[in-house]
Structure 1
């Protein structure tokens, strides 16, 4: 079993610095008279984790299938509940990619494998939110 350890330290205001595998991640929350954010909020970083996780899976699978592609990006859009604690209730993951029309079934398989088998972040999201996916071919 793999264990992840993250160290997080309060910096100022609502700013926290986290150390993740020798990388620094800053989280912030704009409150009161604050007008400048020093980093994204924690919930938005969850969407970053989701897109990164499924993106890594899809690229790995497409590479194994020897699919040539360009302009791959992922947009995530999530809706928060109205009441505290505000959590994501719906998430839409849009995969945008340019590849040969003949490779579209391979892209669909790669997304399916990521969403239903490999992406642990996706599996976690599915426990509390309705997750929808779409592929947009460029």
Structure 2
């Protein structure tokens, strides 16, 4: 895996490109008009994306189709700390569809505790928690 970064202005706006040519813009969140995500924002997006891919894959292998999947991720940092790393990360998985509760819980659990590379990497630095909602009902 390889990423190239190029500075686009005189401040903090950068363009990153992977080997396939996919582009993601980065910027400093304290800028007046940021032109991209902050690096810490991308970490939260990464854990949401990685775990969601796992959940979809696990359910597809069981021939279960989701009508919708959304994940809300919140990262908590220690005020004033340098570096200001995440101390806690909480994910709220919101699944919709004709999925048995046990299978929905298990898919999320397998992702977060076994398969999601981003989660496994970040758990070395931050406490990670999650909850699962199925069809607008909290199930774990």
| 1:74 counterpart SS class | strand
- Whole-angstrom CA distance in 1 between matches of 2:83 and 2:70: 30
> TM-score, normalized by length of structure 2?
0.89
Name stretches of at least 5 consecutive residues in structure 2 with no aligned partner.
136-140
- Whole-angstrom CA distance in 2 between matches of 1:26 and 1:79: 23
- Whole-angstrom CA distance in 2 between matches of 1:116 and 1:129: 14
Kept in 1, the 8 Å contact 2:90–2:130? The answer is yes
1:29-56 per-position Cα deviation (integer Å, ceiling 9, x unaligned): 144xx42110111100111111000000
Q: What is the correspondence of 1:1-138 to structure 2 with a 5 Å cutoff?
A: 4-12=1-9, 13-20=11-18, 21-31=20-30, 34-82=31-79, 83-100=81-98, 103-138=100-135
How far off its partner does 1:18 sit? 0.5
Q: Which runs of 4+ in 1 moved over 6 A?
A: none
Give the aligned partner of residue 138 of structure 2: none
How far off its partner does 1:69 sit? 2.2
Kept in 1, the 8 Å contact 2:104–2:134? The answer is no
> TM-score, normalized by length of structure 1?
0.90
Name stretches of at least 5 consecutive residues in structure 1 with no aligned partner.
none
Q: CA RMSD in A?
A: 1.2
